[in-house]
Amino acid sequence: MDIMADHYVQKYQEDGYVVMDGLLTPEECDQLRCRMAEIVDQMDVPEHCRITFSTNHDEQLKTQGNADYFLTSGDKIRFFFEKGVFDDKGEFTVPREHSLNKVGHALHAWDPLYKKITHSPKVQGIAKNLGLQSPVILQSMYIFKQPRIGGEVAPHQDATFLHTEPLGRVMGLWIALEDTTVDNGCLWFIPGTQNSGISRRMVRTPEGTYPLTDFIGREQAYDEDKFIPTPVKKGGVVLIHGEVVHRSMPNTSDHSRHVYTFHLMETKDTHWSPENWLQPTEELPFPALYTE
């Protein structure tokens, strides 16, 4: 199934991202949202795992327990929370369905509905149009961007966290499950930055050392004026090149901004860094996209 006309391929290659409407129907979006509501309803998160998700490294990996919960989440469905949603006894201060920042990182493997959408003919068609020969799915996330409290995601390149040699082998698909707008925290991009390499890499530190991860290099200071807001209609998808600089702002509206996102990697002639936080495991080797 083909939703990707040639001009989208060209735009993706030029800018490092492209928006395409209508990857999912409104009904498919609602089904994914309902399924997530069930997952959240059943979530049972031990107190020591009630961690805040932040793109600020020091904050995110504040304790060894937090760092471990994150670093071992690649082959599981785990829960990451917004700031200030627990009291000092670890009890929720907001309704639990409004507490989450994201769920990750293996919805694509363990939940049948997410798996079906991830491997759908439309998604496979996009990868084929971009010439991917043997793509695998690295990770998946459901991002909530809660009304009023959904925080910013700082400017970054995905290859900082998902590093390959050569670069240019990773792409994110970011699917809007409801309309994303400037007010509710849509993505912003600096077009063309996918061609300038990466400024920092997150690496695992040697076994037995703490902290468990560190950065090589620093995020650059980007010119605020160069970021372009990128609203997307419900069911639309943004393709995100692994090196393009992007961010999202806090949700200042009364509406949520739910998205389902996952990352693909072309495996042909690609070396996946063993220093990446995310590693294939015995339970979950990175699954091939062109199956199911």
- Nearest 5°: CA angle at 124, between 121 and 128? 130
Helix (H) or strand (E) holding 43: none
Token duo for residue 127 = 């990868």
Q: Are 128 and 289 in contact (CB under 8 A)?
A: no
Interstrand relation of 228-230 and 259-266 (parallel, antiparallel or unpaired):
unpaired
Q: What is the length of the chain?
A: 292
Q: Which is nearer to ligand AKG, 51 or 238 (CB)?
A: 238
Q: Is residue 172 at the binding interface for ligand AKG, with CB under 6 A as the rule?
A: yes
- Interface with ligand AKG (CB under 6 A), residue total 10
Q: Is residue 246 at the binding interface for ligand AKG, with CB under 6 A as the rule?
A: yes
d(CA 176, CA 23): 9
Q: Is residue 248 at the binding interface for ligand AKG, with CB under 6 A as the rule?
A: yes
State the nearest-atom distance from the C-beta of 280 to ligand AKG, in Å. 20
> Residue 223's closest CA among 189, 187, 196?
189
- Of positions 106, 136, 143, 190, contacts ligand AKG by CB under 6 A: 143
Q: Is residue 261 at the binding interface for ligand AKG, with CB under 6 A as the rule?
A: yes
Residue nearest to ligand AKG (CB): 248
Q: Are 282 and 103 in contact (CB under 8 A)?
A: no
Q: Is residue 158 at the binding interface for ligand AKG, with CB under 6 A as the rule?
A: yes
Q: Is residue 104 at the binding interface for ligand AKG, with CB under 6 A as the rule?
A: no
Q: Is residue 108 at the binding interface for ligand AKG, with CB under 6 A as the rule?
A: no
What residue ranges bind ligand AKG (CB under 6 A)? 143, 145, 153, 158, 172, 185, 246, 248, 259, 261
